[in-house]
Structure 1
Amino acid sequence: MEKRKSMYKIGAIILAAGLSKRMGKPKLLLPFNELPLIYYPVSLAVQNELKPIVLVTGQYMNDLENTLGQFNKQVTFAYNDKTDTGISSSLKIGINTVKSHVDAVLVFLGDQPFVPTEVVHKIIQEYHISQHKGIRIIRPRYGGQEGHPILFDSCLFHEFQLLQGDIGGKEIIKANKKYVKLIDFPNKVWGTDIDTPEEYDALIKGV
């Protein structure tokens, strides 16, 4: 029997456990328009009433909790003590935290301040339309460049347990190509992420 739209439970995993090696300091705490970078994906997930919202953190967990104090009731902080093993460990923690509560999850990057609500709305809308047609992964494409957040149906959660090292969901996407739906957005800036001091400087200068 097909689920009704209102019955779908969609959660969020926000990846915030990186070591910020290229930045040289905890990038998610850096300010942009007087708010830390991490504020943007968290507020986006909260605004769209995704539940649960799991923020996977590492060595900066206390700082992130303090910075995001206003969201503490809506966000679950999950600590990853294996951040040196790569992004796969964070994804596993996130999936294990949400798996018994959701039909699907949106995976966000912690350093993308420009993703608008429109993107999340369209991904969720597409899930409602396409889930019964066999679509299991929905991904935005910004100006031709594939990006985040990415929706994964719960039937794929077991595949995350097979990931190793610094390999994220792209292996799962590759293995399930025929079940992927891409949604195109013309604005390439929406997919911008911030990894280096140069990228951060460009962000602040509005380049």
Structure 2
Amino acid sequence: MKITAIILASGFSKRFKGNKLLALYEEKPLIMHVIDKVIRQDFYEVIIVSQYDEILSLVSSARSIKGIIKFIKNNNPQRGISESIKLGVKVSQPCDAYMFFVGDAPLIGGETIENMIGMYKTLEAKETAILCPVYEGERGNPVIFAKTYKEELMGLSGDEGGKQLIARHKERVIGYEIDHHKELFDIDTQLDFNQLLQMNQID
């Protein structure tokens, strides 16, 4: 089964007052915590979409297990996260599913990523499934969308991203229960980042 990872890294970080994806956490940029975990997995492709040349340059030396990794420049980030989603899907090779990651959630565990992939592959309804991590009813990222949603992903607009599809297909959403809420923690503000610095990384 071919699952493609798409890492979304084009946000403006308006509330952070600086590029949060380049903020140093445990001696490396925030975005690299996500990328390092993703490239350890057996993805068909890894696609990184960003508006920032600094990020694309930073990750240019990254290599996935299969060695298939693409770096895509988002020239229209003002269109919202949907633009990054569409760019990632557009350049991907034909696959069975897409797994979307956000660059500002560094505590997602490598084991969780691996287990979600394994769970998705065993689902009877994987041709129509949407799989996301859940902690006590709260959903987060990363999310796996079956390839059947390709056209809907390409039709997204604005800054809601995959939430639009999840709301539209609630009956097809399957939750993967995680052990700790920290894995869903994402960084929006300096206060969030300060809180992150007080946490132990999960992996």
| Fold match (TM-score > 0.5) | yes
Over the aligned positions, Cα root-mean-square deviation in angstroms equals 1.7
Change (3 A) 1:101 1:196: same
Kindly indicate whether the alpha-carbon contact (under 8 Å) linking 2:97 and 2:145 is maintained by their aligned counterparts in 1: yes
> Greater helix share, 1 or 2?
1
CA distance in 2, matches of 1:140, 1:82: 29
Superposed structure 1 runs of 4+ greater than 6 Å apart: none
Show the counterpart of 2:48.
Answer: 55
Q: 1:164 aligns with which of 157, 167, 176?
A: 157
- 197-206 or 132-141, larger mean C-alpha shift: 132-141
Identity %: 30
Show the counterpart of 1:85.
Answer: 79
Change (3 A) 1:154 1:134: closer
Unaligned runs of 5+ in 2: none
Change (3 A) 1:135 1:125: farther
CA distance in 2, matches of 1:145, 1:128: 23
Deviation of the 1:135 alpha carbon: 4.4
Render the CA deviation track for 1:17-58: whole Å, top value 9, x for unaligned.
011111111110111100111011111111112131111101
3-state SS in 1 of match to 2:43 = coil
Show the counterpart of 2:12.
Answer: 19
Kindly indicate whether the alpha-carbon contact (under 8 Å) linking 1:17 and 1:90 is maintained by their aligned counterparts in 2: yes
Unaligned runs of 5+ in 1: 1-7
Alignment of structure 1 residues 1-207 onto 2, 5 Å:
8-58=1-51, 60=52, 62-71=53-62, 74-98=68-92, 100-132=93-125, 135-206=128-199
Change (3 A) 1:34 1:143: farther
3-state SS in 2 of match to 1:71 = coil
CA distance in 2, matches of 1:195, 1:63: 19
Render the CA deviation track for 1:109-145: whole Å, top value 9, x for unaligned.
1011111122112211121111446542111113432
Amino acid at match of 2:77: T
CA distance in 2, matches of 1:132, 1:202: 38
CA distance in 2, matches of 1:133, 1:15: 23
Kindly indicate whether the alpha-carbon contact (under 8 Å) linking 2:30 and 2:103 is maintained by their aligned counterparts in 1: yes
Deviation of the 1:74 alpha carbon: 4.7
**How many residue pairs were aligned?**
197
CA distance in 1, matches of 2:148, 2:156: 16
CA distance in 1, matches of 2:160, 2:9: 15
Render the CA deviation track for 1:76-135: whole Å, top value 9, x for unaligned.
11111111111111111111111x331111100101111112211221112111144654
CA distance in 1, matches of 2:73, 2:126: 36
3-state SS in 2 of match to 1:138 = strand
